[in-house]
């Protein structure tokens, strides 16, 4: 069994893992240990590793299956996409991304995303993470009582609600079709059962049963709590970094990436595979590339 070593990135979210060689033979006990670490920390970081797209997906599938190797597909796909400001087919090529869970507007937001740094010229724009479970656990009691039983609508389409101080910085995807879903604000995590503060800057549009002004004010208060700077974990990219996280327990975002800035190319793989097939894709971006 490989002996893994973990260094916590914060008391509430994230750990850097050493002693894991994704290019070697990985026994069942190591996968189980990694899954336990994932459940505890929700965000795992591996530095200076070489990992193929197929192994990247295997790791995501194992952690998505909660370490139950019998649930991992026998023939793991090697498909991937790129998040890049240099590659012609790179997604999210420039601009700022607000905090979000991928596909939060769908019924399949329960997923495990991963990113692997193919290029990370310095200074490289970080990816930022915030814990929704810690957000709920530390939410003041008066706010917990206020949102208990309330539901929020999360939608694809433009980032945010159009009222930020940095609208011109936002990368704005345009969708062939806009999808939406309504969930409780206090949402149990599907794997761990922990309660999450399930709202997000990028996709949450309104809280049902409130006036628009009341909804906006309450969302702003919840966002201020969830994304307090001292609670955000930043990952500063280097080539060979592999980052894997729980999509709902750990929201992610990033500051502004310049299209003509340092090369930043991250290979993206999700589990389970082929998540976007039933929802289509964003087709164009509308933002200033500078």
Planar angle of CA 290, 91, 233, nearest 5 degrees: 80
Contacting residues for 88 by C-beta, under 8 A, at least 6 apart: none
Please tell me the predicted confidence (pLDDT) of residue 290: 47
Neighbours of 106 (CB within 10 A): 20
Cis peptide before 272 (omega within 30 of 0): yes
Please tell me the predicted confidence (pLDDT) of residue 150: 98
Please tell me the predicted confidence (pLDDT) of residue 148: 92
Q: What are residue 127's DSSP bridge partners? A: 235
pTM for this predicted structure:
0.94
Q: Which residues does the chain have with pLDDT short of 70?
A: 1-2, 274-290
Burial class (CB in 10 A: 0-12, 13-18, 19+), 272: middle
Domains of the chain and CATH, by start: 5-273 (3.60.130.10)
Pairing of strands 81-84, 242-245: unpaired
Q: What is the pLDDT of residues 57-99, one digit of tens each?
A: 999 999 999 999 999 988 888 999 999 999 988 889 999 999 9
The edge-to-edge listing of strands for the beta sheet with 204-207 is: 180-184, 151-155, 204-207
* Cα–Cα dist 36/40, whole Å: 6
């Amino acid at each position: 069994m490989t002996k893994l070593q973990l260094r916590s990135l914060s008391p509430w979210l994230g750990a850097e893992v050493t002693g894991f060689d994704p290019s070697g033979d990985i026994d069942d006990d190591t996968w189980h240990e990694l899954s336990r670490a994932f459940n505890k920390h929700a965000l795992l970081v591996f530095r200076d590793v070489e990992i193929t797209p197929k192994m990247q997906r295997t790791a995501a599938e194992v952690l998505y299956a909660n370490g139950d190797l019998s649930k991992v597909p026998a023939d793991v796909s090697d498909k991937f996409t790129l998040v890049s400001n240099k590659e012609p087919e790179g997604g999210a090529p420039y601009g700022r991304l607000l905090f979000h869970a991928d596909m939060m507007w769908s019924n399949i937001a329960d997923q495990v995303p991963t990113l692997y740094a193919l290029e990370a010229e310095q200074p490289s724009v970080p990816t930022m993470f915030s814990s929704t479970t810690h957000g709920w656990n530390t939410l003041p009691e008066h706010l917990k009582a206020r949102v208990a039983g309330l539901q929020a609508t999360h939608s694809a389409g433009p980032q945010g609600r159009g009222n930020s101080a940095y609208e011109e910085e936002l990368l704005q995807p345009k969708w062939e079709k806009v999808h939406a879903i309504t969930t409780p604000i206090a949402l149990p995590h599907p794997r761990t059962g922990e309660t999450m503060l399930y709202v997000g800057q990028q996709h949450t549009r309104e809280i049902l049963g409130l006036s628009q002004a009341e909804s906006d004010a309450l969302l702003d208060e919840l966002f201020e709590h969830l994304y307090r700077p001292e609670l955000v974990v930043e990952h500063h990219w280097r080539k060979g970094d592999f980052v894997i996280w729980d999509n709902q327990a750990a929201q992610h975002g990033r500051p502004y990436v310049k299209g003509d800035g340092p090369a930043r190319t991250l290979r993206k793989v999700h589990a389970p595979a082929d998540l976007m097939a039933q929802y289509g894709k964003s087709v164009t971006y509308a933002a200033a590339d500078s």
